[in-house]
Amino acid sequence: MDTTGTFWMPPANSTIASEVDALFYFILYASIIIFALVVGLSAYFAIKYKRRDGVEAINSKGLDHNVKLEIFWTVVPLILVMIVFVWGFQTYMKINVVPKDAYEIKVTGQKWFWSFDYPEGGNSVNEIVVPVNKPIKLLMDSKDVVHSFFVPEFRVKMDVLPNRYSITWFEATQVGEYNLFCTEFCGKGHSEMVGKVKVVSEEEFEKWSEDLAFSGEGMTLKDFGAKLYVSKACVTCHKIDGTNSTGPPWNNLFGKEEHLSDGTSVIVDENYIRESILNPMAKITAGYQAVMPTFQGILKDKQIDALIAYIKSLQEDKSLIQDESSQEDESLKNE
């Protein structure tokens, strides 16, 4: 199994990758050989038959074509092109026909992250976890503009469109972590729309699936929120050290008076945060672009509660938070 990669290609870590590479190298080397022949012979003949004083041009002796040579340089390229066509078509069909026993994951692209929904009900953001040696079907669409799902080491690349599903599949052959890129320019955050494909053993995948369904039991809401802050990729746009990023920082946010782009202002409370998560376009903080995606359907109510508790915990001036203790009690009751 090739895991090292070459000058031309990254490591080949899916069932289809070595086949794609073999065709690529065939075309590459055939092109190099033909290029060298054409350019080399042109140069050689140009020098050998250059015009000299006192030497008559060959063509004047009535030589105008050579049937054998012409058949040769027509038939040989035809054979080469047919090989590339048949080989390419077969590989194309393999890439596009999903095996029947494939495990299906719903992929959603939006500005600017990936989310993945698993058949068992859990979801993950920017990290798709799959079992090794099992065909994985990806059912993909976009919530906004065109994105593209690209995992170089699997040789898998497929556009992700709004209002229409696209489908692709792969079978990873090697446990490990692989880069996932968006390869369709989709706006300001395009270059940050990167994720990971984590390929794990069958047992590890089952354990991970169970964890995914984890609802924060045995954890305080605040700690659960801190976990979600990273796992749901809030961290990409919201910092907690006071620095501005794509979105407002979360520390010292709760209880603050926030000026909005329409000239009004709001006090950041539980309802404002909840609305901002589910319907981000409703109230845009002045000085920021309206780019936050909705987390409707991605976050459950309890997860939103946890994020609110986490944001509250990042407020240094505790006098702005009245009901923190009652919230903590709530989480204990839920257990």
Assigned token pair, 103: 């495990």
Element at 278 (helix H, strand E): helix 270-278
Q: Interacting stretch for ligand CUA, rule CB under 6 A, among 126-134, 185-193, 220-228, 238-246?
A: 185-193
DSSP at 148? E
Determine if the peptide bond prior to 112 is cis (ω within 30°): yes
Indicate whether 184 belongs to the interface with ligand CUA (CB under 6 A). yes
What does the alpha-carbon distance between residue 73 and residue 254 come to, in Å, rounded to a whole number?
A: 76
Task: Show the site string, 97-126: x = touches ligand CUA by CB under 6 A, - = not.
Answer: ------------x--x--------------
Which residue, 186 or 253, is less far from ligand CUA as judged by CB? Answer: 186
Give me the residue label for tokens 């984590």: 198
Residues 6+ apart with CB under 8 A from 53: none
Contact 246, 256 (CB under 8 A): no
Closest distance of CB 313 from ligand CUA, Å? 32
Query: What does 28-61 look like in DSSP terms, one character per residue?
Result: HHHHHHHHHHHHHHHHHHHHHT---TT---GGGG
Binder among 125, 186, 226, 277 for ligand CUA (CB under 6 A): 186
Indicate whether 151 belongs to the interface with ligand CUA (CB under 6 A). no
- From the number of C-beta atoms within 10 Å of its C-beta (0-12, 13-18, 19+), residue 138 rates as buried
Indicate whether 190 belongs to the interface with ligand CUA (CB under 6 A). yes
Indicate whether 157 belongs to the interface with ligand CUA (CB under 6 A). no
Q: Interacting stretch for ligand CUA, rule CB under 6 A, among 94-102, 177-185, 210-218, 325-333?
A: 177-185
Task: Show the site string, 193-232: x = touches ligand CUA by CB under 6 A, - = not.
Answer: x---------------------------------------
Chain positions contacting ligand CUA, by CB under 6 A: 109, 112, 147, 182, 184-186, 190, 193
